[in-house]
Amino acid sequence: MSTPPAPTAGRHWLDRPVLVTGATGLLGGWLVPRLVAQGACVACVVRDHVPASRLMRPGCASEVVISYADVRDQEAMERIIGEYEIDTIFHLAAQTIVGVANRNPLSTFDSNIRGTWVTLEAARRSSTVRAVVVASSDKAYGSAPLRCTEDTRLEGRHPYDVSKSCADLISRTYAETYDLPVAVARCGNLFGGGDLNWSRLVPGTIRSVLRGEHPVLRSDGTAVRDYFYVEDGAQAYMLAAQSLAQRPALRGEAFNFSNERPLSVLEMTRAILEALASDLEPEVRGDARHEIVEQSLDASKAHQVLGWKACWSLGEALARTVEWYREYLGSARAGVDGRWARTGRHVG
């Protein structure tokens, strides 16, 4: 596959009708404002009203169309895509917490697998859709070795991993069988301001330290992961969609997005503590179950085919993330949102 220069945004997004599912999530909270800033006409599919999400904050929700619907509802998805003459779809909606998936596999399968095929089927029946980017994950590779490439087999074994493997395969089925212009994005562990799932390593650790508490690691701290800054993620998704619209031959392709700097949970915790200038030591519980031991991504294809590169170093990304949580946790809303913590202080 040839290696063209990276496309510049230019006027590509100006007045372009765009649909974002899962817009109240971490990635959606950064992607939607970026699209709006570049002139896109953005519609968001939202299942639940999440007042603490970045989408619902002043200056964002007032600039987009919000449709309260479930991505598993075929009729609703066809209506939204048809009525707003959607050109580009970012399908981000999913149940994304591994622990929740382990406890509730059926709801996770339903949301992540059925939600994907319903969205793709609605797109297939549309005459206006020119590009669909589906959010897969590094977890779709299952317990694959380090430095997974896009040719590594998808072998999820536990509920969340399997749901992403299936959604990934279904997406490429629609490209191969129906010529639907769909591409798949596989990212590492996204982090950044706006993530209020306190069971995750980065927000959970930051909140604990800012409260003067020792962060608690569910795992033994040795699991290796890619940690990928959400603003780089939003930029990567937009580049993938723009490239797909301009180069139809990219349909059916998958792309890994990563800063290619895998860290153990304990190493990442230390980096967060350094960003917070904290000498608190983590409490290592070592009681996590059904989690992949080592995983990282090779992003060479995204570099070569899309001309993509990350913009933020880990240190810069963590500094921006810490600053976001300092401001957020010092606000009046923090006490309200904190009640929705899913698993208390346990992170990692």
For residue 5, the model assigns a pLDDT of: 53
Average pLDDT over every residue of 188-216:
94
Domains (ranges, CATH) in the chain? Answer: 17-191+227-257 (3.40.50.720), 201-224+264-293+313-347 (3.90.25.10)
CB 322 within 8 A of CB 273: no
146-173 pLDDT tens trace: 799 999 999 999 999 999 999 999 999 9
Distance CA 275, CA 2 (A): 40
Distance CA 200, CA 347 (A): 5
Higher-pLDDT residue of 235 and 330 is 235
Assigned token pair, 27: 């990635």
User: Exposure string (b/e) for 48-65, b if CB count within 10 Å is 16 or more?
Assistant: eebebbbbbeeebbeebe
29-71 pLDDT tens trace: 999 999 999 999 999 999 988 888 888 887 777 899 999 999 9
Which backbone phi and psi does 68 adopt, to 5 degrees? Answer: -85, 105
Helix (H, G, I), strand (E, B) or coil at 220: coil
64-112 pLDDT tens trace: 999 999 999 999 999 999 999 999 999 999 998 888 888 999 999 999 9
Distance CA 320, CA 191 (A): 11
Q: Which of 123, 240, 137 is nearest to 175 (CA)?
A: 123
For residue 339, the model assigns a pLDDT of: 47
* Matching residue, tokens 């949970």: 265
For residue 344, the model assigns a pLDDT of: 34
Residue type, 48: D
Residues annotated catalytic, as ranges: 160
Helix (H, G, I), strand (E, B) or coil at 182: strand
Distance CA 71, CA 171 (A): 15
* Matching residue, tokens 């939204």: 80
CA distances from 228 to 233, 277, 311, 314 (A): 7, 21, 11, 8
For residue 43, the model assigns a pLDDT of: 97
User: Confidence class of residue 8 from pLDDT cuts 50, 70 and 90?
Assistant: low
User: Confidence class of residue 175 from pLDDT cuts 50, 70 and 90?
Assistant: very high
Q: Which of 73, 70, 63 is nearest to 43 (CA)?
A: 63
CA distances from 83 to 44, 79, 303 (A): 13, 6, 36
The DSSP 8-state label assigned to residue 48 in this structure reads S
Q: Which of 261, 267, 127, 280 is nearest to 208 (CA)?
A: 280
